[in-house]
Amino acid sequence: MFKKTITLIGCIICFVACKQSYKHDASNSEAGESSNAISHVNLDSSKTSLKFGIYPTTTKNDFNANTYKDFDVLSYAGYAIDPFTGDAMHTNNWELSPVVDSLQYIGVDCILLATITDSTANRQFLNNTKAMATFIVNSSSKLAIQNAEGIHLQLDAVALADRHKLTNFVTMLATHTHKQGKYVVLSLPNTYPNAFDVKALSKYVDYYVLMPMSNTEAQDKVMKAYLNLGVPIELLQVVKPIE
């Protein structure tokens, strides 16, 4: 407990430092500099398109390797974030699930999907320094438990007013996660304008993902909008359905 408390305090201090670093970075970016950019943790530098999916955690004891073997990455919904504390409200048995090992055995990266799906909850979380620091400590431990390759963050309906707070949080999370040799995936909304400052975030995020849309023309329009905003094409993926 004492060790965890020290780590948590360290993360809170790191959060303040990351805020200052981000502000410094943003001013440099406007001047055409990027002195503080992070090297991305890439799955395979030769790939410009990954097959990225979300594992159906409702599936119980009928794991079929043939269903998943063609994927590069599968997210496992293993951390529903409590916006008040940063702890996990539920984990879908992430710590004990054999799915991660099974996917790794067939050459598929299984990463931890952490979510907040409510706009009010996102505001509460992004305005709570202690909760954000707790989440970073806890999610790091959960990656270590399963030796998972990375984390996938999905924060739905973030308010425009929290744009800078979102960027600061993702910066802190990515900095911590990259130190573990893990990568960071961030879900983007299918609507714009939104709170995601992709120009700033692209220094820290390894991959972005979009949920698939039934209208392919609308999907292409969304992708082009993000590319025009500065998202590198090699970092932008669309979630593939699991058939």
CA distance 156 to 240: 19
Residue 128 falls inside a structural domain: yes
Q: How many domains does the chain have?
A: 1
Provide the token pair at 49: 């398109």
Residue 27 falls inside a structural domain: yes
CA distance 201 to 7: 25
pLDDT of residue 57: 83
Mean pLDDT of the chain: 82
pLDDT of residue 35: 29
CA distance 19 to 51: 33
Number of C-beta neighbours around residue 202 at 10 A:
20
Of 29-38, 211-220, 231-240, the poorest mean pLDDT is in 29-38
**Across 180-201, average pLDDT:** 92
Residue 39 falls inside a structural domain: no
Q: Is the model's pLDDT at 235 over the cut of 50?
A: yes
One-letter amino acid at 133 equals A
Q: Which residue has the higher pLDDT, 216 or 59?
A: 216
The DSSP secondary-structure symbol of 171 reads H
Strands 52-54 and 236-238, bridge-based pairing? unpaired
**Phi (first) and psi of residue 210, to 5 degrees:** -115, 140
Beta strands in the chain (DSSP E): 52-54, 73-80, 109-116, 150-155, 183-187, 207-210, 236-238
Alpha carbon separation from 112 to 39, 176, 226 (Å, rounded): 21, 15, 24
Residues for the chain: how many in total? 243
The β-bridge partners of 236 are 208
Residue 217 falls inside a structural domain: yes
pLDDT of residue 44: 52
Domain assignment of residue 203, given as a range: 2-33+46-238
Q: Is the model's pLDDT at 130 over the cut of 50?
A: yes
Q: Is the model's pLDDT at 4 over the cut of 60?
A: no
pLDDT of residue 59: 67
The DSSP secondary-structure symbol of 10 reads H
Alpha carbon separation from 7 to 1, 110, 138, 152 (Å, rounded): 10, 26, 10, 22
Number of C-beta neighbours around residue 71 at 10 A:
20
**Across 180-197, average pLDDT:** 92
Residue 41 falls inside a structural domain: no
CA distance 90 to 116: 12
pLDDT band at 73 (very low <50, low <70, confident <90, very high): very high
Could you read off the pLDDT of 90-120 as tens digits, one per residue? 999 999 988 888 999 999 999 999 999 999 9
Residue 222 falls inside a structural domain: yes
pLDDT band at 61 (very low <50, low <70, confident <90, very high): low
Location of structure tokens 């799906």: 117
CA distance 62 to 229: 42
Q: Is the model's pLDDT at 50 over the cut of 90?
A: no
Residue 209 falls inside a structural domain: yes
pLDDT of residue 112: 97
Residue 189: asked if its preceding bond is cis (omega within 30°), the reply is no
Residue 40 falls inside a structural domain: no
Kindly report the CATH number assigned to the domain that includes residue 154: 3.20.20.80
